[in-house]
Structure 1
Amino acid sequence: MIENIRKKLQHFREIEGEFPNKNLLITLESQPLLALLKAQKTIFPALYWQDKELLQTIVCFGAIDDSETIPQVKGDIRYYGGLAFQQQGEQWPDFPAIRFIRPALEFIEQDNKLTLTCHFDSHFSVTQSLTLIDQLQPPVALQNMNAELLSRHDLPTKKQWAELVDLAIEYKALLPKVVLSRQTELVCRESINHCDLLYQWQIANPASFHFSFQFSADYIFIGCSPERLFSRHNNQLHTEALAGTVNRGRNAREDAILLQSLLTDKKIDRENYLVQEFIIANLKRLKADVVCDQPRVMQLHNVQHLCVPIHAQLTPQTTDADLLYKLHPTPAVGGSPKLPALQFINDNEPYLRGWYAGAVGYISEQKSDFSVAIRSALISNNKIKLFAGAGIVTGSIAEQEWLELDNKIHTVLEIISQTEDN
């Protein structure tokens, strides 16, 4: 594969020069892209993206542009990145308020075909692209995790959580809903391989967005999120109100009873309606025509959610930046009304959310796709921070919401602590 790419690049240079202003598209034999990502230890940025419908799997290496603004793009240009949960204040290292990169090498598997796009902008050289190609290592087999947990630390603690929930309910006149969250830091004996973890997470929850963003050797942000922020195809937009959670049942009968409770529970209906109302109102502010589908239940490995699909016809003037700023963060991860909820979170949560509950995805002229970065984790060597949130409304009980947080990280805890015999 490497030699084939080198020859194509060298021939491309003969035609377009050392600094091309157009991309080179190369068709390749199929490669396991997550295994290809696992093999690379020295190339940054290194990104992975798989959409919820499993239509596209993408791996990117290197960058010809690195921007802390939301790009507007034309032609065959594509940017990958995300926005933090809140754009104000301190953020995580490597993950500022906004960060998007245009990759140097972009591998895309779609319709059982693998293509490589070598990106150029008249400033990035063929020689630089060849240098990246020469650094690529062959795919490395993915395997089960086998990590020994040394410690666990929850922030807020269970006592602090109960106090936070009580405080949020006291504010119910100003805050009908606020989403509170928890960071669970695990320390393992050995370093954590994020590709192996993501591979097992994909198996447990296949119908989700799967992503990995690594901008340096120090930090990796990964996720297996069930929640779409939006998918735009030209002027057609698809989004969803995803709010309201119950467990999976221990057997088919219990599972069906719990599923039905999602569709009939008044507290859950109120929680989901606040998200619908927010999305519809903000799309209409962009002069979009909006239609909602009937509620349905999204079933995952350990939990199930109430989901209302929403579709919109956008005006030609609407940009991806407009959509990101209007729709992010939704009440599903922040609360309602938006600004008081965000202020409450900023004032009271004892840790920085960073890109957790932020927006991650890609932007191109014809299509843009973004997930809400829930069910996510920040990895650094042998430490992993897991995140989970719960919507607090009138009637919420702190103990039950704490158990919901545990259920939302249970899949990852299972994966990390499994033995080789499993």
Structure 2
Amino acid sequence: MDRSSGEGRLAGETESADGAVELVSRSRDLGSVSVSSILDGNADSRIQWADPDGLELVGRGVAVRFTADGTDRFDRIRSQASRAFDRLTHDGPAAARPRAIGGFSFHDGHEPAAPWAGFDAASFVVPQILVTRTDDRTWLTAVGSRADEAEDRLERWHDRLSALSTTRPSASPPGVAGTRRTTSPAEWTDQVETVLKRIAAGRLAKVVLAQALWVDLEGPIDVPATLELLGRQYPNCYRFLVAHDVGDTFFGAPPERLVSKRGDRVETEALAGSVPRGETPAEDETHVERMRADAKFQHEHGLVVDAIREQLAPFARDLTVREQTIRRLATIQHLQTPIEATLEGDRHVLEIVEALHPTPAVGGVPPDAAWETIRDAEPFDRGWYAAPVGWFDADGDGEFAVALRSGVASDETVTLFAGNGIVADSDPGDEWDEVQLKFRPILDELQ
């Protein structure tokens, strides 16, 4: 029997109680079922997470909720989690342990207004029901305030899920009725030229500008089904879905790992610079060679590598920057540099997340000037776009992705987000084309 540890808000409360509220979790083998069936219906909080290495988490309901805002939101989430996990007793395998799943907004001053209703500046949920799928096993975990409550919930959901088909019926894409942009090509050119002037004046080295695309659908969207399609098309990307009991659903298939922490080992990466895929392997290589040889791409990528190295160095006993490689996805190719570190002392993954967010791949250099420029230039709220989304456990281990290739969905509307890095020799037209390429992964699955 494990004793897990974290400070929390209990059973949907917005503030955690300091009273001695004990939480209990129970797990059992689930066998072969369609785990996405747990996401059916809209009444409860629903969470999904999948990483490229085979871990999938699907949760429903709220056993404990942690929320925070302001500049100290990372510390407050970590503090809430430590108290909540300290009161949680887990009886089951380590793989099936309860985890806090959620994310942060890009800006610490974020307000949860439409389309981000229900999305606080920081929000994590320990689900009442959690399905954990690894390479070889699938586990069902139930969390309650008493042992009998957790055991009863476990049995009911085990029977419910076991009675379902092992495959989920495929849903047809909703179809796209039309799109509307937050930023016109002329406005984009003005924004980029303003940034280039600030770079020339020495105020910036790089900033990432983003756009939003409102997509009107021909019918209601089935977000879990859309996410499943994205998983088939982009199997080496992350996938996530966050749907609170109020507001819309944030989902995406990001290619970029922010950080993975297991014990004292940390893995992250620089992912910056992108070109399209070709129609043939030869065309792929032509695009890649152009990117490798282009000073603008290499400068942009190098800024990200250098910033991550500097951000990790205070935490690390040793740090290794691997050789640059190419990350190939279905429609796009990126420059990628893996980075690994061994931590000095006991650290929580949220400390690393806070240190790394935002990387220059989604913010800029220097960070404060880049954030100011983003606020001045972008005519929409980024919300959770380009921010950390992922999970952590009682030991402070966890994994986070950068919430790119993402959107917010309501019944018949999806708001998509995409951006691109602007450096000294950026061309507004080329940057526009690259942003449109990044809308494609989700837009293609909606049509």
Say if 1:366 and 1:396 are closer, same or farther in 2 by CA, change over 3 A. Answer: same
SS in 2 for 1:87: coil
Partner of 1:102: 126
| Length-normalised TM-score, structure 1 | 0.88
Q: How far apart are 1:317 and its partner, in Å?
A: 2.8
Give the Cα–Cα distance (whole angstroms) in 1 for the partners of residues 229 and 104 of structure 2.
26
Partner of 2:416: 386
Partner of 2:50: 50
- Which amino acid is 2:123 matched to? R
Name the % identity.
27
Partner of 2:101: 80
Partner of 1:314: 343
Give the Cα–Cα distance (whole angstroms) in 2 for the partners of residues 124 and 342 of structure 1.
49
8 A Cα contact 1:142 1:195, kept in partner: no
Give the Cα–Cα distance (whole angstroms) in 1 for the partners of residues 349 and 152 of structure 2.
30
Give the Cα–Cα distance (whole angstroms) in 2 for the partners of residues 217 and 382 of structure 1.
17
SS in 2 for 1:111: coil
Deviations, residues 156-212 of structure 1 (Å, cap 9, x unaligned) = 222211111111111101111000001000011211111121111111111000111
Give the Cα–Cα distance (whole angstroms) in 2 for the partners of residues 129 and 37 of structure 1.
13
5 Å-filtered alignment, 1:4-403, equals 21-34=23-36, 36-38=37-39, 40-53=40-53, 55-68=54-67, 69-71=76-78, 72-73=81-82, 76-91=97-112, 92-120=116-144, 125-126=149-150, 129=153, 133=157, 138=164, 141-172=168-199, 173-216=202-245, 218-364=247-393, 365=395, 367-403=397-433
- Runs (5+) with no aligned partner, structure 2: 1-20, 68-75, 91-96
Say if 1:119 and 1:243 are closer, same or farther in 2 by CA, change over 3 A. Answer: same
8 A Cα contact 1:236 1:313, kept in partner: yes
- Runs (5+) with no aligned partner, structure 1: 1-18, 418-422
Give the Cα–Cα distance (whole angstroms) in 2 for the partners of residues 311 and 56 of structure 1.
20
Say if 1:416 and 1:52 are closer, same or farther in 2 by CA, change over 3 A. Answer: same
Say if 1:121 and 1:234 are closer, same or farther in 2 by CA, change over 3 A. Answer: farther
Q: How far apart are 1:49 and its partner, in Å?
A: 0.8
RMSD between aligned alpha carbons? 2.3
SS in 1 for 2:204: coil
8 A Cα contact 2:132 2:139, kept in partner: yes
Give the Cα–Cα distance (whole angstroms) in 2 for the partners of residues 52 and 262 of structure 1.
25
Say if 1:128 and 1:393 are closer, same or farther in 2 by CA, change over 3 A. Answer: farther
8 A Cα contact 1:33 1:57, kept in partner: no
SS in 1 for 2:128: strand
Aligned length in residues: 396
- Single out whichever of 357-366 and 205-214 deviates more from structure 2: 357-366
Q: How far apart are 1:136 and its partner, in Å?
A: 5.5
8 A Cα contact 2:275 2:287, kept in partner: yes
Say if 1:44 and 1:382 are closer, same or farther in 2 by CA, change over 3 A. Answer: same
Give the Cα–Cα distance (whole angstroms) in 1 for the partners of residues 225 and 134 of structure 2.
22
8 A Cα contact 1:164 1:348, kept in partner: yes
SS in 2 for 1:171: helix
- Which amino acid is 1:275 matched to? V
- Which amino acid is 2:224 matched to? C
8 A Cα contact 1:287 1:315, kept in partner: yes
8 A Cα contact 1:64 1:124, kept in partner: no
SS in 2 for 1:225: coil
Give the Cα–Cα distance (whole angstroms) in 2 for the partners of residues 346 and 123 of structure 1.
48
Give the Cα–Cα distance (whole angstroms) in 1 for the partners of residues 180 and 64 of structure 2.
37
- Single out whichever of 380-389 and 64-73 deviates more from structure 2: 64-73
Give the Cα–Cα distance (whole angstroms) in 2 for the partners of residues 343 and 131 of structure 1.
52
Stretches (4+) displaced over 6 A: none
| Length-normalised TM-score, structure 2 | 0.83
Say if 1:159 and 1:353 are closer, same or farther in 2 by CA, change over 3 A. Answer: same
Q: How far apart are 1:226 and its partner, in Å?
A: 0.4
Q: How far apart are 1:130 and its partner, in Å?
A: 6.3
Give the Cα–Cα distance (whole angstroms) in 1 for the partners of residues 333 and 34 of structure 2.
30
Give the Cα–Cα distance (whole angstroms) in 1 for the partners of residues 220 and 330 of structure 2.
26
- Which amino acid is 2:441 matched to? T
Give the Cα–Cα distance (whole angstroms) in 2 for the partners of residues 415 and 202 of structure 1.
11
Give the Cα–Cα distance (whole angstroms) in 1 for the partners of residues 158 and 131 of structure 2.
15
Q: How far apart are 1:122 and its partner, in Å?
A: 5.2
8 A Cα contact 2:26 2:154, kept in partner: no
Say if 1:283 and 1:388 are closer, same or farther in 2 by CA, change over 3 A. Answer: same
Give the Cα–Cα distance (whole angstroms) in 1 for the partners of residues 365 and 423 of structure 2.
10
